[in-house]
Structure 1
Amino acid sequence: MRVLTDIAYCGQFITERKMDLFLPEKNETGGCILFIHGGGWVGGRKESWHAVAQHYAEQGYTCAAISYRLAPRHRFPAQIEDVRRAMSYLKENAAQYSFSADSIVTFGSSAGGYLAIMLALMLPEDELGDTEGLTIRDTRPSAVVAYCPVTDLRMKRQFILDFMGGPREEMPERYRMADPFERVCEVKTPFLIVQGDADETTTLAQSQAFCDEVLRHGGIAELVVLPKVKHGFGYGTQTEAQQVAMRHVTAFLQNRVTSHA
């Protein structure tokens, strides 16, 4: 395996827009996994995903872990812009890194889970996150894995105010653009949501509601519930919760990525 660190995936804001790549000796799956860290959009590091990325690179997937601009210095939609640019970079360079541009899975936790989901909910013509230099406008992944994702922006949390730049009452249109529930209609990307039932930051009820909304519109959404597991469980490969989650992820990837490679 080769590991390439701190690759600038965009020519602007290059100190914040970095990517670490984990390249298997041979990518027999045809797939790529784009890891997006959480931290309430105000913190977190791409390195937190390294152990998981290394695990899946050893299973034959090209893996990328990215950083992006953080709030409150950079507010919505900066983070959307960044993940779209990262996805565009991967699609442009798929042949160089030995995977199929049509087999990129987004994998995020918490706020990173939100970004992983949002990439799947934006059509190519969507202007959200479309900045000058976005060379590939279709930045939808082939599938999404989200651990304890933020799906409900109605929560009374300071990190949401920092991300959005104020309360919903003062900027309803901005919140509408950012709301995953407003974008679920007719989405075809399959989702795997892994959620702890002891999570008090993003609750099981919120993840269940998102999956129900996807299913209501004819989409595919699987929900795995981890008993007695709290928020932010997924950064690693050693705990029981991490290993159970990864077994479900591995099966999901085999069904949604490898079989189509």
Structure 2
Amino acid sequence: MGAGSMELTTLYLDQPIVWKRAVDIAAPYGTAGPTALFYIHGGGWNSGNRDLFHYHLEHFSSRGYWCASAGYRPAPEVNWKQQLTDVTGAYLAFLRHLERRQETVRNMIVLGSSAGAHLASLLALVSPEALDIAQKDSDLWRKPDACVSINGPATLEEWPDMNADIRGSIEQTIGYPYDVLDRTDMFAQASPVNHVGRDSPSFLFLLAEREYFFPHAHIHLMSEKIRSYGGESEAVLIEGTEHGFFYRLETPEQQRALGLLEAWFDRRKEKKMK
């Protein structure tokens, strides 16, 4: 397989196939490195697809990374916990794929954008058992070593002056409107910041300068909370960008974010080798 000719393996989680419940896997060109990347797309919990992160898969697989991009069923067909079930199943399928090829991965990193950042954060912070998410191949479960949240939320709990579109999208994936008072615990349970603890993995938050949906202040509070427990966390503002900026790798701003991401990966490799 030559450079520029990425080949994908698509694994569906069900037989017969269930729409969206699948993962695309790109094998590394040449010798595999010690890091694997697992991506989750955004789209307001109600749209988007696995293809969105294929530019990242192409780039990083050409540099020795095992890469995967997961799909999940959209809201309101399902709620956030069912979506997390879908991406957890895709993650386990990726782990099984690596095991069958006897690949040694020292550093498993999950990444997501927007709604995908929400699901990636929960995947990194909460075990399937903690949220009562039943999975086949659960014996393979491995807590991610790190998470990259790209213009994603720290909380889904109501805040002042919420953007109307994101408010509606959050209510869709929770399955209830904010004004149903006896369901406020559902918004809290679905909020990544509420699951931060002493065993939280490392986080990198990439923030869009023009962020319409998720307040930066919430991300900074989550980042500080991770550090307060002794964890590692960075929040970096990418100037000249707006929400949803980092699917492609073409513009100067995207290239800057890519450089930051690769440098962060390299630092993690060095720490793992010590």
Q: TM-score, normalised by structure 2?
A: 0.87
- Write out per-residue CA displacement over residues 100-155 of structure 1, whole angstroms, 9 at most, x where no aligned residue: 355221011001011111111113642x1521425236342111111101222124
Matched, 1:254 2:261: no
Partners of 2:102 and 2:258 in 1: CA distance: 23
Q: Which 10-residue stretch deviates more, 233-242 or 17-26?
A: 17-26
Q: TM-score, normalised by structure 1?
A: 0.91
Matched, 1:32 2:21: no
In structure 2, relative to structure 1, the CA distance for the partners of 1:6 and 1:92 (3 Å cut) is closer
Partners of 1:56 and 1:130 in 2: CA distance: 30
Q: Is the CA contact 1:31–1:99 (under 8 Å) kept in the aligned structure 2?
A: no
Correspondence 1:96-111 to 2 at 5 A? 96-97=100-101, 99-111=103-115
Q: Is the CA contact 2:92–2:137 (under 8 Å) kept in the aligned structure 1?
A: yes
What SS does structure 2 have at the residue aligned with 1:136?
helix
The structure with the largest helix share of the pair is 2
Partners of 1:106 and 1:132 in 2: CA distance: 18
Partners of 2:125 and 2:16 in 1: CA distance: 25
Matched, 1:121 2:125: yes
Q: Identify which of 138, 149, 153 aligns with 2:141.
A: 138
Q: Which 10-residue stretch deviates more, 54-63 or 211-220?
A: 211-220
Identify the residue that residue 147 of structure 1 maps to in structure 2: 150
Partners of 2:269 and 2:119 in 1: CA distance: 20
RMSD: 2.1
Identify the residue that residue 66 of structure 2 maps to in structure 1: 62
Identify the residue that residue 16 of structure 1 maps to in structure 2: 20
In structure 2, relative to structure 1, the CA distance for the partners of 1:98 and 1:51 (3 Å cut) is farther
Identify the residue that residue 181 of structure 1 maps to in structure 2: 193
2:139 maps to a residue whose letter is I
1:161 maps to a residue whose letter is E
Deviation beyond 4 Å, 4+ runs, structure 1 = 10-13
In structure 2, relative to structure 1, the CA distance for the partners of 1:47 and 1:145 (3 Å cut) is same
Q: Is the CA contact 2:157–2:191 (under 8 Å) kept in the aligned structure 1?
A: no
In structure 2, relative to structure 1, the CA distance for the partners of 1:105 and 1:41 (3 Å cut) is same
In structure 2, relative to structure 1, the CA distance for the partners of 1:11 and 1:53 (3 Å cut) is same
2:38 maps to a residue whose letter is L
Larger radius of gyration: 2
> In the TM superposition, what is the alpha-carbon distance from 1:70 to its structure 2 partner?
0.9
Partners of 2:49 and 2:270 in 1: CA distance: 28
Partners of 1:134 and 1:12 in 2: CA distance: 18
- The alignment of Structure 1 onto Structure 2 pairs a total of residues equal to 260
Q: Which 10-residue stretch deviates more, 31-40 or 194-203?
A: 194-203
2:174 maps to a residue whose letter is M
Gaps of 5+ in 2: none
Q: Is the CA contact 1:8–1:17 (under 8 Å) kept in the aligned structure 2?
A: yes
> In the TM superposition, what is the alpha-carbon distance from 1:172 to its structure 2 partner?
2.5
Q: Is the CA contact 1:4–1:20 (under 8 Å) kept in the aligned structure 2?
A: yes
